[in-house]
Amino acid sequence: MVSKGMEVINRYVTIKAHIDGEPQDSDFELKVAALRLQVEPGSDDVIVKNLHVSIDPYQLNRMKSCSSSHKAINFAVAISPGMDIDAYGVGRVVVSGNQEFEEGDLVVGLISWGEYSVVKGGNMLRKLDPLGFPLSYHVGILGFSGLTAHGGLFQICKPNKGEKVFVSAASGSVGNLVGQYAKLFGCYVVGSAGSKQKVNLLKEKLGFDDAFNYKEETDLKSTLKRYFPDGIDIYFDNVGSEMLEAAVANMNPFGRVAVCGAISQYTDTGKRAAPDMLDIVYKRIRIQGFLAADLMNVYADFISMTRDYLNDGKIHVIEDISQGVESIPSAFIGLFRGDNVGKKIVKIADD
């Protein structure tokens, strides 16, 4: 039990140096610091006890010594060695100098990879109504992962019923939801994943029409031709590289590609996609990158639809939850080794 004014020990995770390849355990450090649970008079800061934090691949780009993402948006600014690492998550206010928040409020927004967060000005936080769902849902399916899947499909790709949809990294935090949304909308959906178990999950539990293990395929263009003999209308891209090239080669005229991520390139800058530009021109294919922050204008629609699907049991929640702040590095590293199934979350503390 913590109370205002007391001193607590805050454990938090930092990087030791910039990471320009695949992350390793040795890249991270668990630091310990004393934290007084009080704010200065007149301050509008908020101190939050962190409960659940999101573990996301894009953070690796922030940890690099140089990345084009650093100047693109505030969410992706560079992380310097030794500094706090902010991340999306859920927590409870323990001290507030901000009139918008009171002690005991549940909040969601940018907190940190630690046990406590000092949020300057309460920026990027909002009060959370759990809506009767577990708090972890608000980090994943009802958070940015869900918004990215929903908005990427419906706003970027604008599907029509009966269209053929391909999703890469389909068992991941975003991909599994894209496939489920597309199926519920009335599309034909095929996903790729990296193990037999993940493929079975897509087909047997999540309702994908078909799925394949890309590690067992030697010619991705031929593979996609086999699964989409009549071509692909929509490709939701989470990986980039050869998979994007193969999808473009198999797309129908006026196909749409939503580029959500390029995880293959995050750890190997040599793995860059080179789709056939003639295909893109003559088939009039539209390829669009996007960020969850672009989709806030449809947030209310996303929450309404997803809440209804959850209440009606029409959508499955796939979570992969580790316990304790000390598990953050291994949870993060596992994203790039294909260890996670569904949304990767670290539960920092019980509420």
**Which residues contact residue 230 at a Cβ distance below 8 angstroms, ignoring those fewer than 6 apart?**
164, 252
| pLDDT at position 71 | 85
Spans in the chain with pLDDT lower than 50 = none
Q: Report d(CA 305, CA 302) in Å as an integer.
A: 5
Q: Give the angle 339-128-180 at the CA atoms, nearest 5°.
A: 45
Angle in degrees, CA 148, 154, 156, rounded to 5: 75
Please state the pTM of the whole predicted model: 0.94
Which two tokens mark 83?
């500094």
pLDDT of 1: 61
pLDDT at position 217 is: 96
Q: Report DSSP state, residue 311.
A: H
